[in-house]
Amino acid sequence: MFDALTRQPDDPLLALIGLYRKDERPGKVDLGVGVYRDETGHTPIFRAVKEAEKRLHETQDSKAYVGPEGDLVFVDRLWTLVGGDTINRSHLAGVQTPGGSGALRLAADLIRQMGGKRIWIGLPSWMNHASIFKAAGLETAGYPFFDVPSQTVLFDTMMSALQGASAGDAVLLHAGCHNPTGGVISEAQWLEIAAVVAERGLLPLVDLAYQGFGRGLEEDVVGLRHLIGIVPETLIAVSCSKSFGLYRERTGAIFAVTTSSSSADTVRSNLAGLARTSYSMPPDHGAAIVRTILSDADLARDWKEELETMRLRISGIRQSLAEGLRDRWQALGAIAAQEGMFSLLPLAEADVMRLRNEHGIYMPGSGRINIAGLKTAEVGDVIDKLKNL
């Protein structure tokens, strides 16, 4: 019966990891994988995470089931970080999920369950977005979000797409630190988006996977908070993978902002039911770590400080890259003002292959680079290689 299956293509980013590992050249540079790296090329465990793990090790006295909604203290603390005091909490339904991907999938399942059929996605987007939504049975509708040669967000195109969407359609929005473009939506533009979404009766699904990596922890949710203040119903998928460095612990949450406590209760029960028939319950460890950090003022302060050093490192590399590249490609000066770990270089696939084969500089064929994959000492060399393509 397994013969009925066809071999699925390998994930190109995972294949890239394999190629990079096999490369024995000493100066090789990995700009492919989407994880934060420090100046030594290492993906560190936050000090606060280590300390929280130590405390959990000493105090945790059971591994009994928690439940499909996960750790509700974690969910509550995480919401404070995301939404602050913007809404009445009794109108909020929040459920812990296996990472941001699990949150997106649960959101998509919920949209299907409530009769939604279609979700709008600005392109290019994170590769998994369309796959997750399609796997849940949603139709995806794409519109151009970013022009790579000029490095600009196509805001007018986005607004036309939203104006053409039908009531009941869902709309995917990146809260910030857009993957893969780094393109920024200004506060004024968020207000315009919120107005159209509310007017057209659309359901926004906001993906928040990089809080703290753009302009700062609070700054990175300003747009999202405007949105939930204006639009009556919103879904928010949160990933703790980057912001807490918990990638493999699969830590995240899905939040639904609703219009009443009874609606929130109904949504919560649906989310829990969908979780139950999928993975039953989310893994506990990552959420317990985040709960411990966010429940302790000293740990939280230390976590914020370390996150800020990461943000500043990325921002510094962005400034140097933009400075070095703008005389060859004027548009790439925009890299300085873009946010988050990623930017999308205007390279042909042949250029990407030359960089890989001739110089050991690895990135996917799309030209997406992980800025955090660069050490300060490598920036000059990478700029030279790019300029000499």
Ligand X SMILES: Cc1ncc(COP(=O)(O)O)c(C=O)c1O
- Can residue 126 be called a binding residue for ligand X (CB under 6 A)? yes
Residues 129-135: contacts with CB under 8 Å, at least 24 apart: 129/104, 129/172, 129/207, 132/101, 132/104, 132/105, 132/108, 133/104, 133/108, 133/172, 135/105, 135/108
Site for ligand X in 309-348 (CB under 6 A): none
Site for ligand X in 151-190 (CB under 6 A): 179
The token pair at 355 is: 């960089």
Q: Which residue in the set 96, 241, 258, 370 belongs to the binding site for ligand X (CB under 6 A)? A: 241
CA distance 207 to 224: 10
Q: Which residue in the set 81, 175, 209, 371 belongs to the binding site for ligand X (CB under 6 A)? A: 209
- Can residue 99 be called a binding residue for ligand X (CB under 6 A)? yes
Alpha helix locations (H) across 114-248? 127-135, 155-164, 187-200, 222-230
Is there a catalytic annotation at residue 126? yes
195 to 120, 164, 223, 321: CA distances (angstroms): 17, 14, 12, 36
CA distance 355 to 347: 10
- Can residue 286 be called a binding residue for ligand X (CB under 6 A)? no
CA 56 to chain centre: 27
- Can residue 100 be called a binding residue for ligand X (CB under 6 A)? yes
CA distance 389 to 379: 16
Minimum Å gap between C-beta 60 and ligand X is 23
∠ at Cα 286 (282, 290), nearest 5°? Answer: 120
Q: Find the catalytic residue in 52, 71, 107, 126.
A: 126
- Can residue 223 be called a binding residue for ligand X (CB under 6 A)? no
Compare residues 36 and 329 and give the one whose CB is closer to ligand X: 36
Q: Find the catalytic residue in 109, 207, 220, 284.
A: 207
Of 358, 359, 353, the closest CA to residue 378 belongs to: 359
Compare residues 173 and 193 and give the one whose CB is closer to ligand X: 173
Number of residues that this document lists for the chain: 389
- Can residue 101 be called a binding residue for ligand X (CB under 6 A)? yes
Q: Which residue in the set 239, 270, 320, 338 belongs to the binding site for ligand X (CB under 6 A)? A: 239
Minimum Å gap between C-beta 67 and ligand X is 21
Is there a catalytic annotation at residue 209? yes
- The 56-95 site mask, x for binding ligand X (CB under 6 A), equals ----------------------------------------
Q: Find the catalytic residue in 30, 107, 161, 242.
A: 242
Is there a catalytic annotation at residue 242? yes
The token pair at 121 is: 């996605």
- Interface with ligand X by CB under 6 A: which residues? 34, 99-101, 126, 179, 207, 209, 239, 241, 247, 252
So which residues are the catalytic ones?
Answer: 126, 207, 209, 242
